[in-house]
Structure 1
């Protein structure tokens, strides 16, 4: 018999989409996979050099639970530069990816029954970890405001049980980038209502002009003592498999995280730590610049192809490396024609008819969206999006013709 908590959550929807794509490939189908939340890229030379040097030095021992002190100092300098505020090593926890940083935050902040405000669509892990910690996710619909929550909608949902709000910008899955006014309003609400802010900026390196990423503690410095910054190098350095991230926040929280982490993973992978430290000490931004240019080129190509979609509205992809399609009108047209069609059916049709694997919005709490990653090879992206556009336009035409 399993523990009762296992009934409260299920496997990640994005992982399930990848599994479906792999199963189709295994059966002999030619599939272009647009499900993965990662960029296809070689390693940054500085990361490779740091890892190899650490192996040559026989670095194979435990580090401090929260990571190498030299790495935490380097991360403190990085965050200080990004936020224009001083940070110290004792305000930094190095973690096994951003997921562990988020898990740590949930476990040290939430008591059973505490509520956490989460804008919808959301990254599937946010509510799952709140539930694991005994909390209750409270969802805020954002579709009518370009996928950024209205302050009034947030304020009306705050109760005496509300403990925190999750802010994810640039957003996964929608690509929405929160502007300064939105961030200032959220920060002020948190101050007035005594809430924690869990600020996930894992896609912060990929805000596409004219949009810009703003650290919330820079926009509202008074919110710093109630903000936990979650970040990783999975996206900015294309290191998803290395599992290296960090949590930054008040020393009291980080101290509690240290105690918790000592009983879960202990320190993050030592080779990954040394590799990242070498990269940060190198100070060479050329790899990140090149990676950002590659993502920007993929976005431009993708938006050009998707402009032929008959779906409205067109995806904006303000940040990150996802296109988020709104299939609301297509689904409404199907229902008017007495066809029982949902977004999972659309995703299944794209897989079987177009040979393109995508992620259903149901994984993100949204019954009308589809997420497409454009972090893959440009040639594959071109072919995949053209197939997808043709298939969706055929579906749209089919239902529109019957009206």
Structure 2
């Protein structure tokens, strides 16, 4: 008999999509995998050299539970620049990726019976971790407003049990970037109704066209005392496998996170810590600019191909590196005829007929959506999207 909490969640939908793509490839089928939330890129020279230096110096001991003091100092300076406010090392916890930062937040912040507002579509891990903590995710549909939550809808979702809201901008899976007015409105609601803001900005380094990423504590400094900032180097430095992220928040909160982390993972990987510190100290921004240029080119060419879709609107793709397709018009005839086909069926068809793997919106609480990553090599992306367009235009 397993613990009852295990009935509250399943495996990550994005992980399941990756597994399906790998299984098809292992069976001998040529697959273009557009499922992964990562950028295909060589290591930054500062990352490579920092890791080698750490190994050559024999770095292999425990650090402080929430990261080396030098790294937390560097991260505090980074967050200070990004938010236009002063942060110190005791307001920073280094974690094993963003997932641990979010898990720590859920376990420290939430009590059984609490409610957390989660705009939908959502990254699959958000509601799962809320449930693990014994709280209840309260979903607010954003499809009717370009995937940005309406403030009146958020206000309607607030109850006396509301403990927090999760704000993810740029959004995964939608790629939407919240504007300043929306962020200011969310901050005002949090203050008025006395709840926390869990601010996930893991894709904040990647915005496109005229869109700009804003930190909520820059837009509304008065909300800082009830805001927890989640960020990671997995995306900005293409280091998904290195598992290094961080959490910024009030000192008392970070102190409690430290106590919790001391009983889970203890300190994050020490080589990864030294490596990121080396980059923060020596990096000149050229690698990040290279990644942004790579994604901008992939986005532009990908949107050009997707513009040939006949019954699927071209995605906005304002930030991050995902195309999120709205399949409503494509699936509407089957829905009107009483069929129950949804994005899962589209994903299955694409995998079996076109050799293209994507993530169904059902993983994100949206049975009419499809997430496609454009972080893969450009030639593979163009081939995959071309096959996808051909298959969806022939959909019956």
Length-normalised TM-score, structure 2: 0.99
Q: Deviations over 1:194-246 (max 9, x none)?
A: 01000000000001120000000000000000000000000000000000000
2:313 and 2:27 map into 1 onto residues whose CA distance is 35
Distance 2:337 2:168 in 1: 37
Partner of 1:205: 205
CA drift at 1:339: 4.1
Question: Hey, what does 1:401 align to over in structure 2?
Answer: none
Aligned to 1:32: 32
SS of residue paired to 1:331: helix
- Cα distance in 2, alignment partners of residues 108 and 12 from structure 1: 22
CA–CA distance in 1 between the matches of 2:193 and 2:241?
Answer: 38
Residue correspondence of structure 1 range 1-400 to structure 2 within 5 A:
1-395=1-395, 398=396
Are the equivalent residues in 1 in contact too, given 2:197–2:228 (CA < 8 A)?
A: yes
The structural deviation recorded for 1:116 is 0.2
For residues 68 and 28 of structure 1, do their structure 2 counterparts lie closer, same or farther at Cα, with a shift above 3 Å needed? same
Question: Retained in 1: the 8 A contact 2:46–2:283?
Answer: no
Deviation per residue, 1:336-392 (Å, 9 max, x gap): 345442211111000001100000000000010000000000000000000000000
Give the drift of 1:311.
2.4
Q: Deviations over 1:263-317 (max 9, x none)?
A: 0000000000000000000141000000110011000010000000012432010
Residue 213 of structure 1: SS of its match in structure 2? Answer: coil
Q: Aligned equivalents of 2:185 and 2:193: distance in 1?
A: 12
1:90 CA drift (Å): 0.1
Q: Distance in 2 between matches of 1:98 and 1:287?
A: 21
SS at match of 2:49: helix
Whole-angstrom distance in 1 between the partners of 2:195 and 2:310: 42
Deviation at 1:329, TM superposition (A): 1.2
Aligned length: 396
Deviation at 1:96, TM superposition (A): 0.2
**Offset of 1:87 from its aligned partner?**
0.2
Structure 1 residue 319: Cα displacement: 0.3
The whole-number CA distance in structure 2 between the counterparts of 1:319 and 1:388 is 22
- Does the 8 Å contact 2:165/2:195 carry over to 1? yes
CA contact (8 A) 1:311 1:326 kept: no
SS of residue in 2 equivalent to 1:235: helix
Q: Report how far residue 23 of structure 1 moved.
A: 0.6
Q: Secondary structure at the match of 2:237?
A: coil
Aligned-partner Cα distance in 2 for 1:22–1:115: 37
Deviations for 1:28-52, whole angstroms, at most 9, x for unmatched residues? Answer: 1000000000000111100111110
Structure 2 unaligned blocks of 5 or more: none
Q: What is the alpha-carbon distance in structure 1 between the residues aligned to residue 340 and residue 99 of structure 2?
A: 36
- In 2, Cα distance between equivalents of 1:343 and 1:94: 37
Give the superposed CA RMSD.
0.7
Q: Distance in 2 between matches of 1:118 and 1:313?
A: 25
CA distance in structure 2 between the aligned counterparts of 1:337 and 1:2, rounded to whole angstroms: 42
Q: Is the 8 A contact 2:173 2:322 kept in 1?
A: yes
C-alpha contact 2:184 2:220 (8 A) present in aligned 1:
yes
* 2:40 partner SS: coil
Counterparts of 1:390 and 1:334, CA distance in 2: 19
SS of structure 1 residue aligned to 2:236: coil
Distance in 1 (CA, whole Å) between partners of 2:154 and 2:126 is 17
- Using the size of structure 1 for normalisation, the TM-score is 0.97
